A and B are shown apart, each in its own frame.
Chain A
């Protein structure tokens, strides 16, 4: 094993933290979705590293699932964002109060 597991996990943690920060702090919906994607990817890295560490393919399978889910999620999410932008003229979720 070239890269130790701990390094991979630290990288995943840093990426996850960045994703959280992006999702929580940004006021733009697209950036929030980006943040969520980054979090998903950090989880994928953790899965891959763990699969390598224990020589177990289930981790890799999960990553494939996550990729598929992320792709659909992004497409649906972006579609909603586009629709919401058309309706409100804004990317700021604070302006979406019509459900209230």
Chain B
């Protein structure tokens, strides 16, 4: 039994890596074979993870396997698997979404010159994220964390011939790296003070012995990594640019992998973070700020992928708020449901973008996006779930977040949550109305048939599965709660706040109504209220000028500041000194060379004069 579990874990995590290596080394020139390898590997991972989840559905505690890996480096760090409830849940989510996205990509990426490379990177991505979910120690999490960052760099910049794509990949990597450095430092602080990096140990006794200031410091540093990966304030600007990658990549990136890793880590170390209320307060504030800022940005964007990207930041902000408010289950549950409907949103948008070749929502509407039946229905379901409309999955998870926020003493957070709910509903249905109730239509486009080729079917299949999941997942709230209660017992007896549930639902409906009034009703101008206030519009559209600030910072402080100064120092001061020294030596040589040449006879005379002088000197000294 135990061996079977271990074998399943190894299979689930390492098969995609094997696929990655095989594709990179052997099958780069054979796209069909590469795709089969990759999809086959992730399918086996999916089966294994589902088996693991069902096998352990009633298991009492975490299962842990570890082995000494770096014994002789002088560090005593355990590596291995930690298969507890959270890890297995995450493993299943990742495997499911990866599998669906890879199947979808068979249609979306068909004919791309980098098809094999695409599947290789997808497998690398899956490997890193699957292994991260069942990692045993923080160091191991950090390793896969970096690999997740690397694979998203490679995938975001997949179409590297576009300057903007490679730029976006670089930006994503460097910005998350900045967060990762904080995480890395946090690791050191924890290691030196707790003497251990095991997740269970940190959540258990090892962290209790740490001084309080150190605990807060390490919690904040590790949270830095979460801020980077989950694109929270102030490191949020890389995520919208990450849209430059192929759309399936965005779907994966935004639902189950890259950005989810941050929230997953928060949940992973939830008991550890809970030890420091001060740090939790800061996390709550950061989550709230990110949530609100991103919502405002989503309200004015015309690029469909960007809207969903902002909404991802905002929903991640919700999750972090929930976790920081002590709502462990709420955060994890929202992570689960969000993975489903956000993947669905992106995959549906991908169908439109693939066939209509534009990202602009107004153009999509004009070109008749309505005629694609399956994606249209799916995206509306997903948008409704995002807005929190019952009985979809998003409704249930959002309700539990609101409950967690309502449990706080300060009502400000709950208020912010309400504003977030309203804005979410507004911006998601703004997109829906603009896309499906366009002002003018190009008729010949609209009456074209929905294409039913193999590629379209490969893309439609995952949409149906995800739509079904979005509809059904909400009803699994109670079993999931019981399942996760194995680790954390905090929010099982959360107080009931019926009025807040109703208020949230009403606000969501108000948001939809406003969107309908401005964009949906017959004869609507399709101009939002924000667009009518230019300063606000510019502020939101320019993403609160955060990007400008970063660009200025990198340009002025790093490139033209420190880097220039040090380069001048290298060139002028250090090399200057050395070259002057060398030049001086040569100059000195030249002067003495002047004495050595030409006046040979004067030197002879000088020699004789000195000799005579010395002779006299010694002669008279004797006497």
Per-position contact with A for B590-615: 1 when CB-CB < 8 Å, else 0?
Answer: 00011011111100110010000000
Kindly state the separation between the CA atoms of A99 and B593 in the bound complex, as whole angstroms: 9
* A interface, over-half SS: helix
Asked if B604 and A94 make an inter-chain contact with CB atoms under 8 angstroms apart, the answer reads: no
Instruction: Please tell me which one of the listed residues A20, A23, A32, A99 contacts residue B597 in the complex, with CB atoms under 8 A apart.
Output: A99
B601 touches A32 (CB 8 A): yes
Q: Determine whether the beta carbon of A23 is less than 8 Å from that of B604.
A: yes
The answer to whether B601 touches A20, judged by C-beta atoms less than 8 angstroms apart, is: no
Please tell me if the beta carbons of A93 and B593 are within 8 angstroms of each other in the complex.
Answer: no
Nearest chain B CB to A79 CB, angstrom units: 18
State A36–B608 Cα separation when bound (angstroms). 12
> Assuming A20-B608, A24-B608, is B598 touching A97 (CB within 8 A)?
yes
- Encode B547-574 as 1/0 by CB contact (under 8 A) with A: 0000000000000000000000000000
Q: Does A96 contact B (CB under 8 A)?
A: yes
Contact B598 A94 (CB under 8 A): yes
Contact B601 A23 (CB under 8 A): yes
Give the dominant DSSP class at B's interface: helix
Chain B residues near A32 (CB, 8 Å)? 601
CB-defined contacts of A25 to chain B, threshold 8 Å: 601
Say whether A87 faces chain B, with CB atoms less than 8 Å apart. Answer: no
Chain A residues 35-68 with CB under 8 Å of chain B are none
What A residues does B598 contact at CB under 8 A? 93-94, 96-97, 100
CB-CB under 8 A from B608, the residues of chain A are: 20, 24
Tell me which residues across on chain B come within 8 A of A23, comparing CB atoms.
601, 604
CB distance from A52 to the nearest CB of B (A): 23
With A20-B608, A24-B608 known to touch, is A100 a contact of B601 (CB < 8 Å)?
Answer: no
Question: CA A39 – CA B197 in complex, angstroms?
Answer: 90
Q: How large is the interface on A (under 10, 10 to 19, 20 to 34, 35 or more residues)?
A: 10 to 19
Q: Is the CB of B601 within 8 A of A97?
A: no
Cα distance A11–B596 in the bound complex, in angstroms: 33
Q: Which of chain B's residues have a CB closer than 8 A to the CB of A20?
A: 604, 608
Across the interface, do A94 and B593 meet the contact criterion of CB distance under 8 Å? no
Task: Give the chain A neighbours of B604 by CB distance below 8 A.
Answer: 20, 23-24
Which residues in window 1-54 of A have CB below 8 A to B? 20, 23-25, 27, 32
A24 touches B597 (CB 8 A): no
Question: For B596, what are the chain A residues with a Cβ–Cβ distance below 8 Å?
Answer: 99
Q: Which residue of B has the minimal Cβ distance to A29?
A: B600
Alpha-carbon separation in the docked complex, A98 to B537 (Å): 79
- Check A94 against B599 for contact (C-beta < 8 Å): yes
Residue contact A97 to B605, C-beta cutoff 8 Å = no
A23 to B604, CA, bound (A): 8
Q: Are B605 and A96 in contact (CB under 8 A)?
A: no
* Given contact pairs A20-B608, A24-B605, A24-B608, A93 touches B594 in the complex (Cβ within 8 A): no
Residues of B within 8 A of A27 (CB): 601
Q: B600: which A residues are within 8 A, CB to CB?
A: 93
* A32→B593 CA distance, assembly (Å): 22
Distance in angstroms from A84 CB to nearest chain B CB is: 12
Residues of A contacting B599 in the complex (Cβ-Cβ under 8 angstroms): 94
Of B593, B594, B597, which one neighbours A96 at CB under 8 angstroms?
A: B597
CB nearest to A93 among chain B residues: B600
Give chain B residues whose Cβ lies under 8 Å from the Cβ of A24: 601, 604-605, 608
Using known A-B contacts A93-B600, A94-B598, A94-B599, determine if residue A100 contacts B593 with beta carbons closer than 8 Å: yes
Q: Inside 8 A of B594's CB, which chain A residues have their CB?
A: 100
Measured CB to CB, the nearest residue on chain A to B603 is: A24
**Measured between alpha carbons, how far is A25 from B597 in the docked complex, in Å?**
17
- In the assembled complex, the Cα of A27 lies from the Cα of B593 at a distance in Å of 21
CA distance A56 to B475 in the complex (A): 127
Q: A100 contacts B605, CB within 8 Å?
A: no
What distance in Å separates the Cβ of A65 from its nearest Cβ neighbour in chain B? 21
User: Which residues of A line the B interface, CB within 8 A?
Assistant: 20, 23-25, 27, 32, 93-94, 96-97, 99-100
| Additional A-B contact list (19), CB under 8 Å, known A20-B604, A24-B608, A100-B594 | A20-B608, A23-B601, A23-B604, A24-B604, A24-B605, A25-B601, A27-B601, A93-B598, A93-B600, A93-B601, A94-B598, A94-B599, A97-B597, A97-B598, A99-B593, A99-B596, A100-B593, A100-B597, A100-B598
What are 12 A-B pairs at a CB distance below 8 A?
A20-B604, A20-B608, A24-B601, A24-B605, A24-B608, A93-B598, A94-B598, A96-B597, A96-B598, A97-B597, A99-B597, A100-B598
